[in-house]
Structure 1
């Protein structure tokens, strides 16, 4: 990722957090980065694209941190649950996404790429919370996991909402331990009495579009999906056919590299840099760069 691109994203993250999405203008970010607004638009075609990039990068980091906790054998199931809860609280506190004004961030009614991103984010997070519950309380919690998710998410949101509106700075470590203790009590009571669940998988699948059998997206699948999006976007570009052919050739070489067990990162990065010069593709290129960076950190 170029230094300018990263500087723009860092500036946007700060402004979105401090002022809110709608109160932040592209001019604010351009001034902060000491560049012309037109130069920023060459990298990010819209403010929506910029928001998607900022949140996408943060979510990849969140996923990487979560995987480290899950794979650390020194932690007990309770320790993991506390630490995963803490990560979620830190994310909420950082972006205030769950307790700002309902109109402060774009909503699903806005449509377009932001609609798809927001819907996908809600689906992934809901499924993640369910997996987190089963990891903490074992397979016996499986029939009740969606009820537990409602309680967990509602509890996290309300504690953070209260702290935000009364301007109180809570100790997030303390809150995560407190919430985990309360969830222990809820789980113990439910698993002892075994009531009929209020939410079953079919209802959740229908509402969120979640498939119980759908595996978690792997970096390889993310790469494949993003390359397909790139190809589709190139075909729709209002550019001469010779330019489309050049861009599609670059994507074709990237696909060939990704098919190799040990592809050449330097070549892929050079091709992505070439593709990013077509500003309509910058968002997809940025997402691919983040996926590759995440894979590199894991290795």
Structure 2
């Protein structure tokens, strides 16, 4: 990296971290570096490009730190994941405008949307890897539910720290969160709870996010229908009943593939399939998707 580009990145990091995207100007960064605005544009075509480069550098630094923590064989999986969680808290505390910027820019500027989708996918994958190390491969099909639960809890505590200035100890909060996640994981396994987020759906979701695209309604619908078929195979019922349900799912797929699916038929098929308790949670998602209720 050239000396000038390095100076620009360092200045951008200071300004974006302390002021956020909207309050920072290219002229401000150029003045801080002692160069003309035109010289800055030789390295970054726009403020947007500079902000993306800033974000990338911050996340590379975060991931590098976490990988360093994970590589220390002297720590237990629990100690490692607590330190990982602390790293995420410190990242947002050191970049307090990041969460606000992500929401504002993703909603208001279509040029940023693909980038933030990829960023979210990368973050979710990192969380999934960390939770798998903590909980073990046996957690299996509960992993995506736990990824969302974990990230939801972390996000709420970050809001308390950043926007409500609550005097919380980050190390204690990180340990508390990991304790709760372990308890929830044990409870899910013990109760044999049906997972909400199926692997097939999340694989499709992650592929779309990594490509900078939102998952389409058609892809989501197909994923749910695939979940119906795969869950059907595990039902503790007769082969005759499975054959009936399989035929109903096939008819439902065919009707939904029509340009103008008949609501009465779709509703009747969903009602028939939903009589099986184990299939109800998927049926309810499909009902919401096709706007029948």
SS at match of 2:42: helix
Change (3 A) 1:123 1:103: closer
Aligned equivalents of 2:171 and 2:126: distance in 1? 20
Distance 1:73 1:119 in 2: 33
Q: Does residue 1:2 correspond to 2:2, yes or no?
A: yes
Counterpart pick for 2:128 among 127, 130, 136: 130
SS class of match (2:100): coil
CA distance in 1, matches of 2:107, 2:5: 27
1:183-218 residue CA offsets vs partner (Å, 9 max, x unmatched): 12212212221201011112222333269xxxxxxx
Q: Equivalents in 1 of 2:141, 2:7: separation in Å?
A: 46
Q: Do the aligned residues in 1 keep the contact of 2:17 with 2:94 (CA within 8 Å)?
A: yes
Q: Distance in 2 between matches of 1:178 and 1:92?
A: 18
Aligned to 1:19: 19
Which one has a bigger Cα radius of gyration? 2
Query: How many residues are paired up?
Result: 209
Distance 2:90 2:153 in 1: 14
1:110 aligns with 2:109: yes
1:67 Cα deviation (Å)?
A: 1.7
Counterpart position of 2:248: none
Q: 1:169 to 1:210 in 2, by over 3 A?
A: farther
Instruction: Identify the match of residue 145 of structure 2 among 136, 144, 147.
Output: 147
1:178 to 176, 179, 184: 176
CA–CA separation in structure 2 for the residues paired with 1:51 and 1:89: 21
Instruction: Say what the alpha-carbon RMSD is for the aligned residues.
Output: 2.1
- Residue 61 of structure 1 pairs with residue 50 of structure 2: no
Tell me how far apart the structure 1 counterparts of residues 119 and 142 of structure 2 sit (CA, whole Å): 22
Q: What's the CA shift for 1:144?
A: 0.5
- Check 1:98–1:45 CA distance in 2 against 1; reply closer, same or farther (3 A cut): closer
In structure 2, C-alpha distance between the alignment counterparts of 1:103 and 1:65, rounded to whole Å: 25
What does the per-residue CA deviation read over 1:209-237, in whole Å, with 9 as the maximum and x for residues that have no partner? Answer: 269xxxxxxxxxxxxxxxxxxxxxxxxxx
TM-score, L = length of structure 1: 0.65
Alpha-carbon distance in structure 2 between the residues aligned to 1:9 and 1:170:
31
Cα deviation, 1:158-183, whole Å, max 9, x if unaligned, reads 00102222223532222211211111
- Runs of 5+ consecutive residues of structure 2 not aligned to the other structure: 210-293
What is the CA distance between 1:99 and its match in structure 2?
4.0
Assess, with a 3 A threshold, how the Cα gap between structure 1 residues 41 and 128 changes in structure 2: closer, same or farther.
same
Asked whether the equivalents of residues 98 and 161 of structure 1 are also in contact (C-alpha less than 8 Å), the reply is no
Verify the 8 A CA contact 1:81 1:180 in the aligned structure 2: yes
Query: In structure 1, what is the equivalent of residue 217 of structure 2?
Result: none
CA distance in structure 1 between the partners assigned to 2:95 and 2:63 by the alignment: 16
1:204 equivalent to 2:202? Answer yes
Shift of 1:89: 1.5
For 1:8 and 1:168, the matched residues in 2 are separated by 34
Distance in 2 between the 1:161 and 1:37 partners?
Answer: 36
Q: What is the rounded CA distance, in whole Å, between the counterparts of 2:75 and 2:102 in structure 1?
A: 37
Structure 1: state its 5+ residue gaps.
212-299
Q: Which structure carries more relative contact order (alpha carbon 8 Å, separation 6+)?
A: 1
In structure 1, the partner of 2:44 is 44
C-alpha separation in 2, matches of 1:171 and 1:99: 20
Instruction: Give 1:1-299 correspondences, 5 Å limit.
Output: 1-96=1-96, 99-100=99-100, 104=104, 106-107=105-106, 110-112=109-111, 114-209=112-207
Q: In 2 relative to 1, CA 13–164 (structure 1 residues): closer, same or farther, beyond 3 Å?
A: same
